[in-house]
Each structure stands twice: as structure tokens, then as C-alpha cells.
Chains A and B, each alone.
Chain A
Amino acid sequence: MDRRGFLKFAAGGTAGLVASPIIWNTLYDAVYWTQNWGWIPRLKKGAGEYLPAVSKICPSGTGFLVRTVAGTPVRTIGDRNNPVTHGSITSLAASEAELRVSPSRIKKPLLRSADGAYNAIAWAEAEKLLKAKAAAAGKSVAAISGDPTSCTNEVLSAILRAKGSKDFYFMPDEEQPALAAWTSMGGRGRLGYDIENSDCILAAAPVLESWGVVAGNRAAFNRHHPVGAPSTQKLIYAGPVQNNTAAGADLWLPIKPGTETILMLGIAHLLIKAGRNAADFEHGYTPANFKEFADLAAEYTPEKVCAATGVPAQRLEAAAAMLLDAKAPLAIAGSELGSGGGAAPVMAALSINMLLGRIGSKGGVVCLPDHANVVKGAMKYSEIMARPLVSYTQDVASGKKPAPAFLFIHAANPVYALPSDSGMKQTMQKAGFTVAVASFFSETCAEADLVLPATLGMEAFDDVQTPYGSGRITYAFARPVVKPFGEARPAGELYIALAQELDVQLGVKDMPDLLYQHAFALGTPFRQMMEKGTVFTADSAAPLPKMKFNVRSLKAALSAALPGDAPVLAPVVVLGLGTAATSVPPFAAKTVTDYQICGKYSVAQMNGATAASLGVRDGDGLRLTAENGATAEVIVSIFEGVMPSSISLVAGLGHTAFDEFSRGKGTSVVSLTGITREPGTNLPVWGTAGLKAARA
């Protein structure tokens, strides 16, 4: 080819290429395929509905609308017509539609084989095995429930009673120590708080994040703090860390972990000094032992309280002044961890309420009736509450009590949620046969012989009976507004069927019948609740108890050693990290912050002075050694909203089960704590611990 020919060929070729679609199609494909990925999710189209339901995994029992598309739930949205939560929703309940299909959801019954692996089995086989093991166990049966608001507890406890066992326990929560305090001071029924109608709340508990009916508390906070207008409620928060509740509080009382009782007595001292003597107790009597209490409170001068708790004197006085100025003040105490708290802080808080005349008053402490039982032979709610699970498991682990031949664990993850010296793991190992009925594959499931997939609140009939922290009687149905995921089955129906197989007469034939009988007992229209998802609420008409100060138990509790200047663990709970039974919901994983987790390490927040005393700086590695010998490697983050000598870690991390959103991330706070007994009440308590810290 000569030069002219080559040029002709090149020009013709170029013109041909430009005129042809080859270049443009190649460019288009390059753009398309470099921005594409192997699997393209298709959006589901179809008829949409918004169906009222309640959450059974959120401790608030949040009322929400389940948005469905062609029958599949895609969103949960706060239900403004719900009279308990008024449209407020927690980050946990907001992620429930996604949790329903999370990778850790259990789809089929699983049976553990000899080598420890789990094999999927059919429901028929699982039920056969369940019946055989339960029947063979005789009276050596025990059960643990992580859902104290459900009527399924009645069915389970009735089965146990019929077999001759009383070993039915609730997972430790806020209500158990509170009920112990309440009854020891003369209270009857259940303890409630009228947060909605109070104009000044002193809370030694994270009321805006994890204590009580959180969604309801937030709804009340919302109404009392209108945007662009003056607020009508003051919030005083006492705790070692400026957590989410402190962010919404008018006044933060920084105190060392475990010094809530002293703080409350210090405030009581100032109230008595200002003339409050419980004589204005509006219902006609003055507690007989006021003088005895006043003598105790007199010892807790501001100087002594400030030295023991670390609270600045001015703030202590400001808190007392705010309570004195309020028309409807209310004092609340609980635990930062949500479980393992003592009764003494609640006793001290109730004493403040008595001094201020707030027992039975609007916006004060409420006396609620016990949950009504409709199932024949069921154990009383208060009876179950009065017996701590940890006492049982410790006795079984130490051999003081025989291990159960058959152990039922319902909607709970005690292996993760309880400290290592609780004896829970040993109890499961010693038990003849353990069954975990759960929605998500937890650490407890990983120790069980049989794992049964349970439905969520939006997939089955269940109920939410007045949760702890409420100021009114509330009752809501969980209704099956969507199909169960995989082969999950309603736990209530499973237990009723088991009772029928074991010839236990319950007096109810199925879950709708059980719910009907509860609605009937409360005098609320069943059909409306069932068809429209309406929620029953009523003010309590329970007679007011004659209260007395429990000075003896307070004195005993105050004799316990106080935290010194050595580092102390200060846990923080956020519902975005889920509960022990759910772990971190996939869609809430991004709410986890870089001051909670860094890579696979938990982040320890401490103030600058604490860090300086430990010789560490922001971003340094730190090795923590707890009193129980447990160790954790953490990353230091300087945050001035932490008490000196306190090291704050977020709870809800350190899972070894569940899915990639939870497993292998950070440290479990509970693993660093050990169980002690509260002097005076002998209740098992945990939640804080002395720590030794060394640079890692």
C-alpha cells in the first residue's frame, strides 16, 4: 500500500467509526457496566397499606403503623393515634420492618447435633421433641421470659405450675428492684410514674433513652417542650455521663456511678431543711417514721454529698430549689444499664416523693394494679417479679439447687445480658434439655439444644400489658398484620398447643381467645382492638397505700463501700444498638458513632483529667481489667461530659452471635461487671465495676 492509499484507508476507517454506533455504544456500555453491580435489587410494587400494630421487641411497646407494599412490610412509622406513645418511635422500633428480614432472623427450627452444629428440622419433629422432653422432665422444668408485658407468660407459668414447678423467672429489668422498694415501703400492686403530668422531674435514670416507656416519655417531653415556645416541664438528670437524657435535661447532676442513693438523700436533706416534712401528704396521713428518716437525711449535708458523689454543690442546691418551686415534682431512680440496679436508689427517690406529697397525686407516683391473670393456674406477676433469676441460676451453677431437666427460654438472651458470674451458662450446660424460642439467633440460641423461630409483634397475636414506667393502665394487642417470616411461629400458640399436648387445662383455646378474655376483664371492646388496633388506657383506681420510709434498708445500703478515685465503669445504653435479644438492627448500625466504636474496639470516653491521670491521650489504646478479671482493649476518646475517674462504655456491643452488623464488634459492658448483693435487701446487683487501666 502506498502512502496515499494508507491515508485513504485511515480517513475512511475513522469516518466509518465515527459514523457507526460502535464508539458510542462502547462508551455507553463502559459507563453502564462500571456503575453497575452484580445484583440489582428490584423495588416491589403493589397495593400499599398502613396498619396499626405494636412493637414487641422495643421495651416501650411502641405503637406504630406498619407500611406494607403488596403485603410485605417496608416501614414502621410512629402511630399518632396510639394513646401511649402518641406517634413517638424509638430508633429500635423504627427499624423493625428491616429487622424482620435481618440476616440473624431464625427461619426454621434448629436442632443441635452431637458435634455442636445446628441442623434445620421440620416443625412437626420439633413439636414432637418438645412434648417428649417436657413430659419426661416431670416437675424438673424451668422457664425464663424476656417479655414481662406478654400474656404468654401466663401460659408458660401455668404449664410449669401444672407440672409442679415454680421456677418461672423474668429477665432482670428495672421493675424488679423498683417493686422490691415499693412493697418494702408499704406500696401495693405496681409502681407507676405520671411523667406526662409532672412539671419537674428529677431522674437518676436515662428516662429519654432506655428507662420505662421511652417512646411515651419522649412524647411527653415533646409536648412539654413546644418548638419556639417556653417549656412546661423541667428535667433534672443525675448520672455519671452526659448521655442522650442529659442532652435534653435542663440540669445535669454529674455523680459517680453507684452514688444515686446518697444524692437523693442529699436532696431530701435540703427539702426537709426547706420545711417539707411529709405532713402535707395529701391523702390524710403522715408516715409514722418521718423523724427517723429526717435523722438519716440530716447526716447527708451538701458537703458530705458533694464529696461522696462528686456533684457540684451549686447544682445540688439548684435541683432542690427546682423541685421546691414545682407544682407537680416527681423523683425517679433506676439503673444506667437497665438491669442489675438496686432497690435503695428507688427507696430514696420514693422518699423524696413522699416528702413532696407526690404519692397518688397527679403528676406523681401512681399505684397500678397487678397484671390480671386469665389463664388457669398461671403465676401472679408480682410473685414472678419478686424472685430474681440470678439467684436461681447462681444456685443451680453452685449445685445448691438441682439443674432443670427441661429449660425454656422465651424471647430472652440471658447468656449475653447477664454477668459471667450469674451462672447462666452453667445452668444451660447442666440442664437436661434447653429450648430457646427466639426471633434472632443470639448467644443463648448458640447454647440451646433446640432453637424455635418465633414471630415478631407484627406477625402474630400477642399483647402489651402496662409496661413498667407507665402512669396509667395500658393494654394493646399485637396483631398479625403481615405474614410470619420464614417458618416462624407465634410463641403463644406454640405454648398453648404444648399445654394441650401435656393435658394442662388453661381455660383458653388459642391466642385470640386469651386476648379476648384479657380485653373482657378490662371492659374494653375486643373487636375494635382486634380489627382497628385501638389501644386501651385508663387511670388507675387502685387504693392508695399507706407508705412508710424504709430507713433500715437505706442505712444498710449506704453502708456499702463508695467508689474511690480509681477508675469506675460508667455504662451508657442507647436503644439504637438494640436490646440483648435483638442486637444492633441493620438499619440502626449507622447510628453507632465513632465515639462508641472504632474498628473492632469499643471506645472508652473519659474526661481530660482522667486521661491525664492514666497517661493516655485521645485515640490511644487502653487495656481495661475489671474486678472479675475480665479484660478489654478499648480506644480512648476524650469527652468532658464524663465524671472524673469514670470510664464510659456503650452497652450493646461485644456480641458473638447474630450477624455482621453486631458480631465481633467492641466489648460487652456486662462482661466487665460482677454480681454483688445489695446490703439490706440482698438483691443481686451489677452494672458498674472498678477498673484497672493500662496503656495498650
Chain B
Amino acid sequence: MSAETKEFKIKWGMVIDIDKCTGCGACMVACQAENNVAPAAVGGNKLRSLNWLTVFRLSNRKPFPDHEVAYLPRPCMQCGKPSCVAVCPVIATDKREEGGIVSQIPPRCIGCRYCMASCPYHARYFNWYDPKWPGDLSQALTPDVSTRMRGVVEKCSFCHHRFMKAQELAVSQGRDPYDLPDGAYITACTEACPNGAITFGDVNNPKHKVHELIKSPYAFRLLERLGTDPQVYYMSKREWVRREGDNYLENEKTGEPLKKLG
């Protein structure tokens, strides 16, 4: 893991309201279509299929009838201290651009998969097989994201091409490309969520909704106590959901920092 959190003037972040997500999967479909992720005939097999965004079902682990269910969409967390960047031997993944998005350059990747081993969120996927678009499916490829090849790792990029387009548009209109208004750049999953469970914006910008949302007492981050400083936040009014977000011991309170050993 990197020693220090990388700070930027702009920090693109996502707030996912788990209480609003009903697990329909529209975000996953939009992500695949936008980023040219190849479809898989064995989509149900999560060990063999590749997703930049996966929706997980959470359970409060109580027996019927006290059982509760929730859904958790998991993109790349775009960590402030990305453990994947520190281990990449060829700098195929990095975090140095304004916005704080962890980049991934597939042609540079040598397929060692150290980054996958180091990512605590399992947000990285390896192309074990040739990506295939059977029949005429390749006609529906978008022009924005290059297709990847067998033998490389890939992951969510917060639809980085949309960031570039929004900046280009701002420049063409004489606006500051580093001060985009709220909503000028959103990811495909944010756009597709029919329940409005995903909010996207610059967490450093007070004019953006996410800036306030991350201060909510119901906001939390996945495995926050590992210190990876993710840029993806979740919200839930249900305590059991917030506890599911980290490895709390039974006697620990939700949100309590990890006690140092010794």
C-alpha cells in the first residue's frame, strides 16, 4: 500500500445509497455496454465472468421472518492509497491525474495479477480467455473504450472517457475544465440507476451534492479501517448494513476505528 494518501484538487467520488438499491442490475448492464466489456454465456458463474461493477446481495444473517436483504453495487473504489498501484511492476496502473481516478492501461499490463491479489475489494479482473462478441454483437461496441485482450487485468475507470469529454466540452465553451458543474460528468452506472441510488461528483467541491452526502452519519466506506481511503462511499440507515461494510468484531461499535495491536 502507498505510504500516503494522494490528494488532488478534484476528487471524483460516488455515493451509493444502499437503501435505494433494489438489485435490478441496470447499472451492470450500462457499465458493460459503455465500456465494451464482453458478454459471457456463463454470466451466473462469477469466478469465470468479468465485471467492472458487480451487485452483491447482503443479508442481516437473521433467520426468517427477521431476515433483511440489501444490495451493494461494487465498482473500483479508486482508493486514495491504492494498494494495486504500489505493487504493479510495470506502472500499468497509477493514480496521478487530477480527479483521483486510478488508471489502468491494459496494453502495458503484463498479467502478473499482483494488483488483483493486493486489491481488498476484488474489483480487478483478469482476462483468462479471449473476449468474444458472438455473431454481430461487436456492432454495438461504443467508440469510447478500447477492447482489451487476453492476459491483462482490467477494472472500472469511473468512465474516465466521460471525464475527458466533459472537460473538452468545458474548454470548447470557454469554461474551466477543472471546475465542472455538478452532473456535467457522471458515470454510466449513475446515469442508468432507475432508483437514483448512485450519486456522482467531486467530493472536494462544495457545489456538488456528494460533498455533503459523504458527511452523513449514515455514510461509510468498504473496509475503511484498512486505510485505503476509498473514493466510493455508501449510505444506509440500517446499522447491520453499515457493519457489513467492514470486519467488525462483535464487541466493536459500528464506525469504530481499528485498534492498533499491542
Contacts and interface: CB of A to CB of B under 8 A. Distances in A.
Interface of A: 31, 34-38, 40-41, 43-46, 48, 67, 69, 72-75, 77-78, 88-91, 94-95, 97-98, 100-103, 105, 208-209, 215, 218-219, 221-222, 225, 227-228, 242, 244-248, 254, 312, 315, 485, 574-576, 584-599, 607-609, 639-644, 659-661, 665
Nearest to A97: B140
A90 B194 CA distance: 7
Provide the main secondary structure of the chain B interface.
loop
Interface string B182-195: 00000000011011
A588 B141 contact: no
A596 B44 contact: yes
A573 to B, nearest CB: 11
A101 B34 CA distance: 16
A247 B142 contact: no
Contacts of A244: 22-24, 71
User: Contact size class for B?
Assistant: 35 or more
Interface in B93-137: 110-111, 130-131, 133-137
Contacts of A43: 36, 141-143, 146-147
A101 B135 contact: yes
Given A209-B24, A641-B68, A661-B39, 12 more contacts: A34-B151, A44-B139, A74-B143, A103-B134, A219-B194, A222-B20, A228-B216, A247-B69, A254-B65, A588-B25, A590-B40, A590-B43
Interface in B6-47: 15, 17, 19-26, 28-30, 32-34, 36, 39-41, 43-46
Contact of B149 (A37, A315, A586): A37
Contacts of B167: none
Given A90-B194, A91-B26, A94-B192, A75 B149 contact: no
- Which are the 7 A-B pairs with shortest beta-carbon distances? A591-B25, A589-B43, A88-B194, A640-B67, A37-B130, A222-B196, A103-B135
B150 interface: yes
A248 B143 contact: no
B24 A575 contact: yes
B192 A35 contact: no
B161 to A, nearest CB: 11
Nearest to A250: B19
A660 B63 contact: no
A481 to B, nearest CB: 15
Nearest to A95: B29
B149 A589 contact: no
A681 B28 CA distance: 43
A660 B41 contact: yes
B78 interface: no
A208 B22 contact: yes
Interface stretch (B54-62, B221-229, B242-250, B251-259): B54-62
Nearest to B55: A591
Contact of B235 (A209, A227, A589, A599): A227
14 contacts: A44-B139, A75-B33, A77-B191, A89-B194, A97-B140, A218-B24, A222-B194, A228-B216, A244-B24, A254-B64, A588-B29, A590-B40, A590-B51, A641-B68
Contacts of A37: 130-131, 149-150
Contacts of A660: 41, 134
Contact of B195 (A222, A242, A587, A590): A222
A608 B64 CA distance: 8
A219 B17 CA distance: 15
Contacts of A94: 26, 29-30, 33, 192
A105 B134 CA distance: 12
B138 interface: yes
Contacts of A242: 67-69
B57 to A, nearest CB: 7
B49 interface: yes
Which of the listed residues A36, A98, A227, A590 has the most CB atoms from chain B within 10 Å of its own CB?
A590
Nearest to A486: B136
Contacts of A254: 64-65
A642 B64 CA distance: 7
Interface in B55-93: 55, 57, 59, 61-65, 67-71
Given A89-B194, A228-B216, A248-B20, A35 B43 contact: no
Contacts of A208: 22, 24, 195
